Amino acid sequence: MSNLKIKVISRNPEDYLRSTKRDIHKIPRNYDPSLHPLEGPREYVRALNAVKLERVFAKPFLGSLDGHSDGVSSLGKHPSRLSVLASGAFDGEIRIWDLTSRKCTRNFIAHEGWVRAICYTPNGQQFMSVGDDKTIKTWKAEIQDPDDEDPVNTLLSMSVVSGISHHRAKPIFATCGEHCQLWENTRSEPIKVFQWGVDSLHHVAFNQVETNLLAACASDRSVILYDFRESGPLRKVVMELRSNALSWNPMEAYIFTVANEDYNLYTFDIRKLRQPVNVHVDHTSAVIDVDYAPTGREFVAGSYDKTVRIFESLKGHSRDVYHTKRMQRLTCVKWTLDNKYILTGSDEMNIRMWKARASEKLGVLKPRERTALNYSEALKEKFSGHPQIKRIARHRHVPKHILNAQKELRTIKEKNKRKEGNKRSHSKPGSVPFVPERKKHVVKEDE
């Protein structure tokens, strides 16, 4: 037996055990699939656990900013500072908040009657507010001495002003009321007035990418587009019911979303206003306000049904719904510029802070934590089509009044569908055409 060669597995424990107690454990890995049997079912169970944990950790409410003595009418985001928020109330008071400490840093009576809208200037040093007293006031964002408390500039408008929006870069801002007016900071008269019809406008918004464009919602159920280089309005689209608010997509310059009185939101492409790109349903009452996330992928909508809903901009149904027992009708919503939080103002004098992703963990993640979360995220996506997992991921508890309203709306929809079907089957073929949902809600487009 001269050429006998034997090798037997013989492990030195030192290679597999940690040398000291303070060391980490040695974890040798072997990715051979035969050592990891039942890959499919195990991944499925992990995905199921991950999706359950997601629902367990879904606690989006962070806190409320308490202080206003009347309902909150408007909110204004600071363009460069995440912790600053301005809010106006129905009693004419404006409060400036520090969001990190959740405290009010400054408050003053700005207008007689409502504060209709607030907006910061692009450099963030001033903010403007419009009120029911037909004034447009400019304030200093930060006060060094007591004189700064007074408005820097007060413009008197001839007519009621109900909305304000500032240009992205130039010292120009637009207000709306009876007409859409363009102002320059230094002048006391509007530099341009756009008129189309006689009805009043209640919301105006500058496009932040294609900065020459602006759009306004009118109470004659129309949404009007303007180019401020032109002398007149560009186009308008008339809906079945009036739109309450409008928000431009910050990533796609030609897309905007309107919050409508008919419980839906409509996303339009300005190149083709005849038909909305998407109809976002799910609210059970009029949608009051809408704001896009800075990524342009999602937007938040606040409604008269006391809920906030988050929509993905390409999908027709909401991704999430936020509500609390004490939150009343929503008046304004904002998505913060770090894409992490949502701020909502409501009728009952509170401003609420929510997480934008309900189950997200706040704060710094350790690398292992992050990889674990990424892994579970990937698993959730992989098994998202499974009935069990889909059911858990989709389920949201909503208050009874919402549930009942949803049921009612569903029955109404079914009824209409059935009725139309009956009509169709009993009339001449082709005389009752199929009208897609997207075309139903737009009356006409004017140029």
Partner 1 sequence: MENQPSRNKTKRYFDTAPEKDEKTQNKNENVKVYTVKSTAKLLKIQKYKEQNLNRRKKAFINNNKIKKNFPNKAPIDPKKLELHSRGEGFTGQGVLHPLHLLKLKKREKKFKYAQEQAARADILLTEGQGYLEVDEDNRTTSINQKVIADNVDITAATKIFELNLDFGPYNAKYSRNGRHLLLGGKKGHLAAFDWVTKKLHFEINVMESIHDMSWLHVETMVAAAQKEWLYIYDNTGTEIHCVKKLDKILKMEFLPYHFLLATVNEYGFMSWLDISIGEIVGHYNNNMGRTSVMTQNPYNATVCLGNPKGVVSMWSPSSKKPLAKILCHKTPLTAVAVDNRGMYMATSGVDRSLKIWDIRNLDGPLQHYKLRSAPVHLEFSQKEMLAVALGNNVEVYSDCCITTTEKPYLRHRMAKEISNFKFCPFEDVLGIGTTGGFTSIIVPGSGEPNFDALESNPFQNKKQRKEAEVKALLEKIPAELITLNPFEVMEVDVPSMQDRMEARNSLLYLKPRNIDFTPKHKKKGKTNIARKKIIKDAARKKFINQSIEAKKILKQPEEDKNSKPKQSFGVLDRFVSKPKVKK
Q: How far is the CB of 173 from partner 1 (least distance, A)?
A: 14
Shortest distance (Å) from residue 378 CB to partner 1: 10
- Exposed e or buried b per residue across 53-78, where buried means at least 16 C-beta atoms within 10 angstroms of its C-beta: ebeeeeebeeebbebbebbbbbbbbb
Site mask for partner 1 (CB under 8 A), range 366-405, x = bound? -------------------xx-------------------
Give the tokens for residue 138. 């400019």
Q: What minimum distance in Å lies between the beta carbon of 182 and partner 1?
A: 9
Cβ contact 351:330 at 8 Å = no
Give the separation between CA 262 and CA 242, rounded to whole angstroms.
Answer: 8
Radius of gyration of the chain (CA): 28
Cβ count near 280 (within 10 Å):
27
To partner 1, the closest distance from the beta carbon of 267 in angstroms equals 19
# binding residues, partner 1 (CB under 8 A): 44
Instruction: Please give the residues from 26 up to 85 whose contact with partner 1 meets the rule CB under 8 A.
Output: 26-46, 49
User: Toward partner 1, which CB reaches closer, 156 or 378?
Assistant: 378
- Report CA-CA distances (Å) from 165 to 2, 109, 203, 246, 249: 94, 21, 9, 11, 15
Answer for the pair 287, 303: CB distance below 8 angstroms, yes or no. Answer: yes
Q: Strand locations in 221-349, DSSP E?
A: 222-227, 233-239, 243-248, 255-260, 265-269, 278-280, 287-292, 298-303, 308-312, 318-322, 330-335, 341-346
Nearer to partner 1, 42 or 418 (CB): 42
Binds partner 1 (CB under 8 A): choice among 2, 20, 100, 186: 2
Beta bridge partners of 302: 289, 308
Beta partners for residue 192, in sequence order? 182
User: Is 425 a residue that touches partner 1 (CB under 8 A)?
Assistant: no
Query: By C-beta, is 146 or 387 nearer to partner 1?
Result: 387
CB of 167 to partner 1, least distance (A): 12
Q: Which of 6, 24, 198, 362 binds partner 1 (CB under 8 A)?
A: 6
Which part of the chain contacts partner 1 (CB under 8 A), choosing from 2-10, 63-71, 99-107, 123-131? Answer: 2-10
Closer CB to partner 1, residue 104 or residue 182? 182
What are the helix (H) ranges across 72-158? none
Q: Does 11 bind partner 1 (CB under 8 A)?
A: yes
- Minimum CB separation of residue 42 from partner 1 in Å reads 6
Q: How far is the CB of 175 from partner 1 (least distance, A)?
A: 18
Per DSSP, 422 falls in state H
Nearer to partner 1, 154 or 374 (CB): 374
Closer by beta carbon to partner 1, 210 or else 220: 210
Q: Residue 226: name the closest of 244, 211, 213 by CA.
A: 213
Residue 229 half-sphere exposure, CB side, CA atoms within 13 Å?
5
Nearest distance from C-beta of residue 294 to partner 1, angstroms: 19
Site for partner 1 in 199-238 (CB under 8 A): 210, 229-230
Distance CA 209, CA 202 (A): 22
Q: How far apart are CA 12 and CA 30, in angstroms?
A: 18
Q: Which is nearer to partner 1, 51 or 217 (CB)?
A: 51
User: For partner 1, which is the closer residue by CB, 219 or 384?
Assistant: 384
Q: How far is the CB of 8 from partner 1 (least distance, A)?
A: 5
Q: In what helix (H) or strand (E) does residue 116 lie, and over which residues does it extend?
A: strand 115-120
Q: Which is nearer to partner 1, 39 or 447 (CB)?
A: 39
Select from 160, 191, 252, 287 the one that contacts partner 1 (CB under 8 A).
191
Closest approach of partner 1 to the CB of residue 422, in Å: 18
Tokens encoding 281: 């349903």
Q: Which two tokens stand for residue 258?
A: 């309107």
**Residue 431 binds partner 1, judged by CB under 8 A:** no
Residue number, 382 or 417, with CB nearest to partner 1: 382
Q: Which among 272, 202, 209, 290 is positioned nearest to 235, based on CA atoms?
A: 272
Residues 299-338 that bind partner 1 (CB under 8 A): none
Select from 9-17, 86-94, 299-307, 336-344 the region that touches partner 1 (CB under 8 A). 9-17
Burial class for 182, CB neighbours closer than 10 Å (0-12, 13-18, 19+): middle
List residues binding partner 1 (CB under 8 A).
1-11, 13, 15-17, 25-46, 49, 191, 210, 229-230, 385-386
